Amino acid sequence: MVSVPIVAFFLKESPEERGLLPDGVSVARNVGQKQNSEEGLNWWEARRSATFWLMVSALFLVGASVHGCVVHLAPLLSDQGLTPQRVALAITVLGTALMIGRVASGYLLDRVFAPRVAMWIFGAVAFGIALLRTAAGTRLVFLAVFLIGLGMGAEVDIIAYLTSRYFGLRAFGEIYGYAFASYTVAGALGPWLMGLGFDRSGSYGSVLVGFLLATSLAVVLMTRLGPYRFRPG
């Protein structure tokens, strides 16, 4: 038992804890990395910026829309006359789209201006919702589900990337936490609105129109973010 604290004394998580640098890293580079990690806004500065509220509003609108459609997907498609087998196939398409959206968004965000990527994906979600509203009972429903799944898979990556580029790393965790919290609230609100709309009208159509308008507005909001404020060192 005595050996445990002795070993713990010598084992460290990183060379920096022993006053050392990793092999091949110069002192100047290490100092630059520390400075880069401290660049950015704190939470109080971020919450006063229009950029934060534009970003959160767009993500909230899309989050509510995709979660509303996904949570109610099975009853929605059944209501449109699809057989249980086709509903199951649609859910499989949704799961595939989620994975593709996560990987594809990460690839694109490293190479293309992030708000532009978000506009493409949110626009695809809007088109998918429009198809879900108008293409009932046709094979286009599967395309609609795929496009909505892409948006749901990509949105978490988009939140993190936009937060790092517009608010830096100084308080990244806190700012991202608030942004993701709004996305979580949207994920609860969307399905509730979907169910409420169906109970009151006997159809999902009116709520889908509302979600179409919401995602279209999110595309417009993404155009207002402007250039990055912070870049990686």
| β-bridge partners, 40 | 168
Long-range contacts of 79-86 (CB under 8 A, 24+ apart): 79/203, 79/204, 80/136, 80/137, 80/141, 81/136, 81/137, 82/137, 82/141
b/e 143-163 (16+ beta carbons within 10 angstroms → b): bbbbbbbbbbbbbbbbbebbb
Asked if residue 91 is part of any domain, the answer here is yes
Average pLDDT over the chain reads 87
Structure confidence at residue 188 (pLDDT): 96
End-to-end CA distance of the chain: 44
Give the three-class secondary structure for 87: helix
pLDDT at 5 over 80: no
CATH of the domain at 152: 1.20.1250.20
Lowest model confidence (mean pLDDT) among 30-39, 168-177, 202-211, 220-229: 30-39
Structure confidence at residue 7 (pLDDT): 44
Asked if residue 229 is part of any domain, the answer here is no
Structure confidence at residue 22 (pLDDT): 54
Segment 89-138, tens digit of pLDDT: 999 999 999 999 999 999 999 999 999 999 999 999 999 999 999 987 78
Asked if residue 86 is part of any domain, the answer here is yes
Q: Which residues form the domain of 154?
A: 42-222
Asked if residue 142 is part of any domain, the answer here is yes
Task: Using the structure block, give the residue that is written with the tokens 């978490």.
Answer: 156
| Type of residue numbered 134 | T
Percent of the chain with pLDDT over 70: 83
Q: How many distinct structural domains can be found in the chain?
A: 1
pLDDT band at 21 (very low <50, low <70, confident <90, very high): low
pLDDT at 139 over 70: yes
